[in-house]
Amino acid sequence: MNNDRHFPVKRLLVLGALVGAGAYYFSREQNRRALDAKLADLGLKDAAQDVGQSVTKGWEKTKDAAKDAGAVIADKASEVKDAAADGGQAAADKAKQVAGDVKDAVADASGKAADAAKDAAATASDKAADVSDKARNAATDAKNAAADKAAEVKADAQAKVAEAKADATKAVNDVKGAVRDAKNA
């Protein structure tokens, strides 16, 4: 059996479950606010919105394709019903004739849904690459800032050590001078 024309019911159900779970999660105000704040902190809010819009467009395309396929199926079912009124053989002939049209409509809807999913996945992939680059740049910036701060702290520490050493040397010299002065007096 050729699986190329098989309608991916399981994938559609999984996608629906994921979309439903996401809608539930994001519908809670506190989760939305926390996520918006975190994405804004990371500078990823625009990327997330673009992916969300892409998924929404894909869902609309899928919904329209399913609606079109449903209309074709309903139309063809009424043709078969009309043929059944004329007689059993006419209904059988009409059912065979319409089966191809229905199969094509379902395949078209499946193709549109797959295209919409591919578009959403491509957008998500592109945005993920952008986000990855931003994250990599942020990590590099953080690493450089940490290295700069470490060098600054090291320089400050060395300066403090040198200052403390100079103070200690001065104190030792002052004590030696005071001892000499006390001996000479």
User: Is the pTM here over 0.75, yes or no?
Assistant: no
> Given pLDDT bands bounded at 50, 70 and 90, which one contains residue 1?
very low
Question: Distance between CA 52 and CA 44 in Å, rounded?
Answer: 12
Question: Distance between CA 8 and CA 4 in Å, rounded?
Answer: 10
Q: Note the pLDDT tens digit of each residue in 122-166.
A: 777 777 676 667 667 766 776 777 777 777 777 777 877 777 777
Q: Note the pLDDT tens digit of each residue in 58-105.
A: 778 878 877 887 888 788 777 777 777 777 777 777 777 777 777 777
